[in-house]
Amino acid sequence: MNTLIKIAWRSLWRNRRRTILTASTVVFAMVLALFMRSMQFGSYNQMIQAGVNQVGDLQVHDTGYWANQSIDRAFFYNNELGDSLKSLPFVKSFLPKLETFSLASYGTQTKGVLVTGTDPILETKQTNLAGKIIKGKYLTSDDNGVLIGDKLAEFLKISIGDSLVLIGQGYQGITAYGIFPIKGIFHLPSLEMNSQLIYMSLQNTQEFVYPYREGLLTGISVFLKDPSQLEQAKQQIQTKLGKNYEVISWKTILSDMLQTIEVDNVSGQIMLMILYIIAAFGIFSTVLMMTMEKRKQYAVMVSIGMQRTKLIMVSIVETFIVAIIGVIVGLIIITPILIYLNMNPIPITGDMAQMYLEFNIEPVIPFSLQPGIFIYQTLIILGLSLLSALYPIIYLARFNVLNAFRH
């Protein structure tokens, strides 16, 4: 075996230029593939992270709420529920929420908005909402004020201290009505959120929607310590809480987004496939030429007594070495670049930035360092290279020694 490897290795270096050119094809494909996949997965993760931070890994609602999100499907919080959730080891934190649609009005301007009642302390711990305040102050637990997005403030022409009128749907048919001072103005990465969202303290919202009884919620967002335990967590929580409640995962809540990601993922893979096929052809043509050139040498080897299987081994080893060199050089080139970009994502500006904001994503191009990307691409490239070696294998198994001598 050693001798075979020796022969394969030296044959490659005998024709250095060709070996380098072929390896370069692999390097090129490798660098490009990894760059693109890292970028794609970076943005997928970014989108998912942003989404999950907003909605939670899981959400608990009254049964049937998700199918029909009406305020009448709200439920009352009881301590038992809280204790059940707290007792589960994989739960990192949970945020109670009360959401309803209202009409916000100031002066002659009105807009439909989503009122979100949340516990200010827990909320900022999870999403750092306090850090996104650009004017005014954040909410306290029993605050009567509201936080609105900068775009909404602009539209309503309202500023800190002004009184906002909210009319909306209350629980069990009552009209929710209230006048609230603007406590603070926030800026979130999404245009949609900045123009449609209003935060109030949970207590305040509960008063607004149903003043007759405490503890009304539309849902509880649950955040897990280990996101990979999603399925088990979901099942366990559902079992624990019983059939009065439903537990929905972020995959359902953000299913539209997931499908968009899938579209992009598939199209990316298709483009890569095309690139790989071309690289494979490049490798194939080299391997083909190498085989044809060495016909006489192969004929001599079989004549003096070398089994064809050994010849085939030499050919496979040659192809493999070239592929490995290409892969390694490719990795050496691209990995430091990706590490740098992972820590310093590329910022996006101008019109494209707008488009990102529309879809709720921060306008940067992030890069992922998931090991899966590297492993997967390496395997594909090695596999394709070996596939290109198929022709010489077939030739070596069947070629006629005497004919090879003659030409």
Partner 1 sequence: MSIIKAEGIYKTYNETNVPVNALNGVDLKIEQGEFTAIVGPSGSGKTTLLNIIGGLDLPTKGNIFIENTNLNELSSRQLIDFRLRHIGFVFQAYNLIPVLTAKENTEFIMVLQKVPKKEREQKAMELLNAVGIGDKADHRPGQLSGGQQQRVAVARALASQPRYIIADEPTANLDSRSTHELLDMMAEMNKKYNTTFIFSTHDQRVMDKAKRIVTLDDGKITSDETFQR
Partner 2 sequence: MLTSIAWRNLWRNKLRSSVIFASIAIGIIGAVVTDGFMAGMTDQRANSAIANEVSNIQIHNPKYLLNQEIKYTIPDAKEIMKKIETIPEVKGVSLRLKVNAMAASANAGAGINLYGVQPDAERKVSALHNHIIQGTYLANNQKLPAVIGEKLSKKLNIGLGDKIIVTMTDTTGTITSGAFNIVGIYKTSNNNFDESHVFVKRSDLAKLVNYPANTGDEIAILLNNNEITNKVVKQLDKMFAPMVKQKAIIIQSWEQIEPLIKSMIDMMNYFSYLFLLIILAALAFAIINTMLMAVMERTREFGMLMALGMNKRKVFSMILLETVFLSIIGALVGLGISILIVQHYATYGFDLSVVSSGMNYIGYSSNIFFRVNSEFYFTSMILVVIIALISGISPALKALKLQPATAIRESN
In the stretch 120-159, what mask flags binding to partner 2 with x, by CB under 8 A? -----------------------------------x-x--
Look at residue 226 and give its three-state secondary structure.
coil
Six token digits for residue 203: 């207590």
Stretch that binds partner 2, among 23-31, 52-60, 132-140, 301-309 (CB under 8 A): 23-31
Burial class (CB in 10 A: 0-12, 13-18, 19+), 150: middle
- Of 384, 281, 245, 282, give the one whose Cα is nearest residue 327: 384
Candidate residues 102, 203, 206, 221; the one interacting with partner 2 per rule CB under 8 A: 102
Query: E strands, 63-218, where?
Result: 75-76, 91-106, 109-118, 133-136, 146-149, 163-169, 175-186, 197-201, 216-217
Which residues make up the interface to partner 1 (CB under 8 A)? 3, 6-7, 10-11, 14, 296-297, 300-308, 310, 401-402, 405
Specify whether the CB–CB gap between 117 and 201 falls below 8 A: yes
**Separation between Cα atoms, residue 47 and residue 165, nearest integer Å:** 34
Candidate residues 45, 124, 169, 335; the one interacting with partner 2 per rule CB under 8 A: 169
| Minimum distance from residue 201 beta carbon to partner 2 (Å) | 21
Does 262 bind partner 2 (CB under 8 A)? Our answer is yes
**Separation between Cα atoms, residue 198 and residue 188, nearest integer Å:** 12
**Separation between Cα atoms, residue 126 and residue 248, nearest integer Å:** 19
Specify whether the CB–CB gap between 117 and 204 falls below 8 A: yes
Q: How far is CA 208 from CA 205, 214, 230, in A?
A: 5, 11, 34
In the stretch 339-378, what mask flags binding to partner 2 with x, by CB under 8 A? ------------xx-xx--xx-------------------
Look at residue 31 and give its three-state secondary structure.
helix
Specify whether the CB–CB gap between 333 and 22 falls below 8 A: no
Look at residue 389 and give its three-state secondary structure.
coil
Candidate residues 5, 55, 114, 364; the one interacting with partner 2 per rule CB under 8 A: 114
Does 71 bind partner 2 (CB under 8 A)? Our answer is yes
Does 116 bind partner 2 (CB under 8 A)? Our answer is no
Angle between helices 255-293 and 295-304 (to 10 degrees): 70
| Minimum distance from residue 189 beta carbon to partner 2 (Å) | 16
Q: Which partner from the list partner 1, partner 2, none does 18 bind, CB cut-off 5 to 8 Å by kind?
A: partner 2
Which one, 259 or 400, has the nearer CB to partner 2? Answer: 259
Q: Which partner from the list partner 1, partner 2, none does 22 bind, CB cut-off 5 to 8 Å by kind?
A: partner 2
| Minimum distance from residue 275 beta carbon to partner 2 (Å) | 6
Query: E strands, 281-397, where?
Result: 346-347, 364-365
**Separation between Cα atoms, residue 21 and residue 33, nearest integer Å:** 18
In the stretch 185-224, what mask flags binding to partner 2 with x, by CB under 8 A? -----------x----------------------------
| Minimum distance from residue 5 beta carbon to partner 1 (Å) | 12
Does 394 bind partner 2 (CB under 8 A)? Our answer is no
Which one, 340 or 405, has the nearer CB to partner 1? Answer: 405
Enumerate binding residues for partner 2 (CB under 8 A).
17-18, 21-22, 24-25, 28-29, 32, 68-73, 100-103, 105, 107-114, 155, 157, 165, 167-169, 196, 255-263, 266, 270-271, 274-275, 277-279, 281-282, 284-286, 288-289, 292-293, 351-352, 354-355, 358-359
